[in-house]
Amino acid sequence: MSVDEKVLHKVRALLNLARNGGDPESNEAKSALLMAQRFMAENGIDELEINTSREADYKKEILDDYATEFEKLSWWKKSLGKVIAQNFRCYSYLNKCNGYTRLAFMGLKEDAEIAVIAFKFATDSIRLGADLFMKNYRMEYLKLEGQRPSLTQQRGVRNNYVEGWISGLEAQYAQQVSKEGWGLVLVKDALVIQTYKNMELGRGKTSQHTRKDSLAGKAAYEKGYRDGKGFSTVPHGRLKKNQ
């Protein structure tokens, strides 16, 4: 098994283990996503050390791989894609057809493969966390208000949670990169940069939601941020009276 295959095997095993853990209040999601970045970064360091002595024998391979199917792609998947790409030496971009969109990663083969795996795991973790948060939010709201929150309220609160989760993950990645001194290691390869330029992709409008500024919305963002960063210490969706 080659070095790249060993790294991918480790990442897949790690993310599958975390996905099957079943405990949304644990730090498994954070640990898995951070370790995926660690494996990739350390593999990059190994390659740099190896290739200094046999640069001429090293052939780089670009991979352009889709992480989603064609769908009405949510704003948060686009945002998550950018965070993952930035931390796995890749570019993320959108491919549109007949009103549907799919998200792709482009980078060196081993980096893009890990980025796709990490993205899919992160989307699963976000959905699970958001579902649990909203279940408890609705229960608390019913107790306090005597009725269920409207669909518009629920959509806004859920979006806040998701935005917070992605921001928390981004902060945790940045913290790990700074701590480990991986700034140069995570720079995109020159071949990746040139390939992306040659694709001549148009720049679309930035897709995002308007954050809900109610107390419940702020609580959702903060909870999502803690979950994304891996510090989940309070019950999901907990509300206080008069919030």
pLDDT digits (tens, 9 = 90+) for 77-109: 999 999 999 999 999 999 999 999 999 999 999
* 20 in a structural domain: yes
Please report, as a single letter, which amino acid is at residue 18: A
More confident residue, 238 or 188: 188
| pLDDT number for residue 29 | 59
* 240 in a structural domain: no
- For 115-148, b where at least 16 C-beta lie within 10 A, e where not — what string? bbbbbebbbebbeebbebbbeebbebbeeeeeee
Domain that holds residue 130: 3-229
* 59 in a structural domain: yes
pTM, to two decimals: 0.77
* 116 in a structural domain: yes
Number of compact structural domains in the chain: 1
pLDDT digits (tens, 9 = 90+) for 23-46: 444 555 556 677 777 776 776 655
| pLDDT number for residue 130 | 96
What is the C-alpha to C-alpha distance for residues 220 and 233, in angstroms, rounded to an integer? 14
* 220 in a structural domain: yes
* 124 in a structural domain: yes
| pLDDT number for residue 89 | 92
* 238 in a structural domain: no
- For 81-102, b where at least 16 C-beta lie within 10 A, e where not — what string? bbbbbbbbbbbbbbeeeeeebb
pLDDT digits (tens, 9 = 90+) for 157-189: 999 999 999 999 999 889 888 888 877 778 899
Question: Looking at 35-44, 81-90, 204-213, 215-224, which range is the least confident one?
Answer: 204-213
Q: Residue 38, Cα to own-chain centre: how many angstroms? A: 15
* 237 in a structural domain: no
